Structure 1
Amino acid sequence: MNTRDSLLAALVATIWGFNFVVIDWGMRDVPPLLFVAIRFTAVLLPAVFLVPRPAASWRSIAAVGAFMSLGQFALLYLAMAAGMPPGLAALVLQAQVVFTIVLAAGVLREIPTPVQVGGVALGTAGLVLIGVGRGGHVPFLALALCLLAALSWAVGNVVARQARVPGGLSLTVWSALVVPGPLLVLSIAVDGPDAVVAAVAGFSWQAGVSTLYTAGFASLVGYGIFNGLLARWPSSDVVPWVLLAPVVAMASAWSLLGQRPNAAELGGGGLLLLGVLVALRRPAPVATPADPGRGRRRAGVVHRDRVVEPR
């Protein structure tokens, strides 16, 4: 990617890294599925009346919304409600990098370079090191839900890449159409009507600030930029940048929530950063062979694209 788009990708990773702390802070009194429905209602309204529909089929728009938004965030919020800490949630969710590259290779025939594979392998090793260092303190259900969220995100990435919508913001807004309704119904079924009504009636200012950040910055700004990058660049060039998000999440959880990382988490975070640097390393330019006709042109007269030999 060029410098401008690389800086945009780094900005998205920073916004998303801080997002995990904001979610954890705002979700204390709101059921997780209802919280996602409220978030994407804020993404949808009033932007859907201001942003033109993306140049993609309804099927692609719905698929992006179903996997990148509904599936990913419903599963992520459930994982955090089940006991997944914000910093670790950000790390486990980065399994989407591996899932995306594998799916893009199989579906889109976007084969990663050996250097990119090596970078992703280093990043994955960092994730494993951090997971081992946690000592099994995270409930298995929370871990499984977070991994499923990563898989859902990866499928959404591939669909968004296949659609190649020029404006990432329009795809982010219009794909949100499929999110609030199903999640509201699921929340009523799982949590009960009384809990949903009580949560809406007692919606705190912390939940409101969290919704504004997650909807405005993480979704509209973050996914607007991210989907635009996927439309311009191969998935293997874009998604490794997201490996920076866990580093921001861990630092935020440490400074704001007192969740100090241990030695394994710090070492794993370092491996993640190294993996990003390796995966995003530009390949060396290939030397072009010498022109075999160069010597003949010196002896003759060049006329446009052909050589006229002297008589």
Structure 2
Amino acid sequence: MSNKDMLIALSIVVLWGVNFVVIAWGLEGMPPLLMGGLRFLLVASIGSLFFKRPDIPFVWWVAYAIPISFLQFAFLFSAMKFGMPAGLASLALQSQALFTLLFAFLILKEAIKGYQLLAIIVAISGLSLIAFSHDTTTMTAIGFGLTMAGAASWAMGNICNRTISNRGYKANVNLIIWSAWVPPIPFFICSLWFEGPEIIIDSLVSFSWQSMASLIYLAVFATILGYGSWSYLLSRYPTSQVAPLSLGVPIVGLTSASLLLNESVSAIQWMGAFLVLTGLLMNTFGSRFKRKIAIEAQ
């Protein structure tokens, strides 16, 4: 990877890691479901000017957008509103990789290899430590549960992405941008139903520069610029070289939340974070390590 592309990769990791701090700031002035709807409306409005409309039937736009855009962020934003710290959210959400393995096994009938099963066990052990740490000063049970629901929704979106690719379509950044026209509808309906018209009106009337800056960051920098740059890297390098870079996101997330939000993580939660990252590393590099052992044994 060239120096320029490595800088782009590191910039993406920072953008996505700090993203969780920005979400926390945005939630100070907006309810979570309203913020989600405004975020994706902004993504669609701006992104559609720069990315071509994907040559994919609209039904697949909906099938992709509902789990990965609407459900994932409805759960994540609500989780952070109800007591999930930004730093731990950036880590726990990465469990989507484990849910993806499970759903691929159950839905697509893909086999789970031995090292992947071990990775799942290690990561679940870490998540269990975080969930049952009894550190009520920084995390609530409902916040953790909603984050896990968000991770599972992301995984379902991954399965839909794979299905779209298997049907011969290109499920790339163009789909991410144009399918963003779909989630504002369920977001605004749910916001009206659960958050109520009074809270929505109050949020819009008292709309602050902090709220606007948060939405611009989430839409333009984290989504359009982030995924656009990620798609650029995937077009130039093997997926196996690019994908592991996302493991740096929770490291940036935990660090930025500590520095910018003064969040603290207990010793048990740090131990759980270490196990989760270990499991993710095992899942990412397990096949490569297995091949290396096989070659050396010959």
TM-score computed with the length of structure 1 as normaliser: 0.78
How far apart, in 2, do the equivalents of 1:182 and 1:215 lie? 18
Give the stretch that moved more between structures: 58-67 or 127-136: 127-136
How far apart, in 2, do the equivalents of 1:120 and 1:236 lie? 19
Give the stretch that moved more between structures: 51-60 or 38-47: 51-60
Q: Which has the higher Rg, Structure 1 or Structure 2? A: 1
CA contact 2:47–2:224 (8 Å) conserved in 1:
no
Aligned pairs for 1:1-311 (under 5 A) are 12-136=12-136, 138-164=139-165, 165-166=169-170, 168-224=172-228, 242-281=246-285, 282=288, 283-284=290-291
Distance 1:48 1:70, change over 3 A: same
How far apart, in 2, do the equivalents of 1:112 and 1:241 lie? 23
Two-structure CA RMSD over aligned residues (Å)? 3.5
CA contact 1:41–1:180 (8 Å) conserved in 2:
yes
How far apart, in 1, do the equivalents of 2:84 and 2:234 lie? 29
CA contact 1:123–1:271 (8 Å) conserved in 2:
yes
**Greater helix proportion:** 2
Could you list the runs of 5+ residues in structure 1 that have no partner in the other structure? 291-311
SS of equivalent to 1:158: helix
Distance 1:190 1:24, change over 3 A: same
Distance 1:271 1:265, change over 3 A: same
Please state how far the C-alpha of 1:23 moved relative to its aligned partner. Answer: 0.4
Q: CA offsets, 1:252-293, max 9 Å, x none?
A: 111111112221222223223333332222132566xx9xxx
CA contact 2:123–2:280 (8 Å) conserved in 1:
yes
Give the stretch that moved more between structures: 162-171 or 68-77: 162-171
Q: CA offsets, 1:232-254, max 9 Å, x none?
A: 99999987765543332211111
CA contact 1:172–1:227 (8 Å) conserved in 2:
no
Name the amino acid aligned to 2:200. Answer: V
How far apart, in 2, do the equivalents of 1:227 and 1:113 lie? 28
Count of equivalent residues: 287
Distance 1:103 1:59, change over 3 A: same
Partner of 1:309: none
Give the stretch that moved more between structures: 33-42 or 112-121: 112-121
Distance 1:5 1:122, change over 3 A: farther
CA contact 2:14–2:249 (8 Å) conserved in 1:
yes
Name the amino acid aligned to 1:142. Answer: G
CA contact 1:244–1:273 (8 Å) conserved in 2:
no
CA contact 1:126–1:271 (8 Å) conserved in 2:
yes
Higher relative contact order (CA 8 A, sep 6+): 2
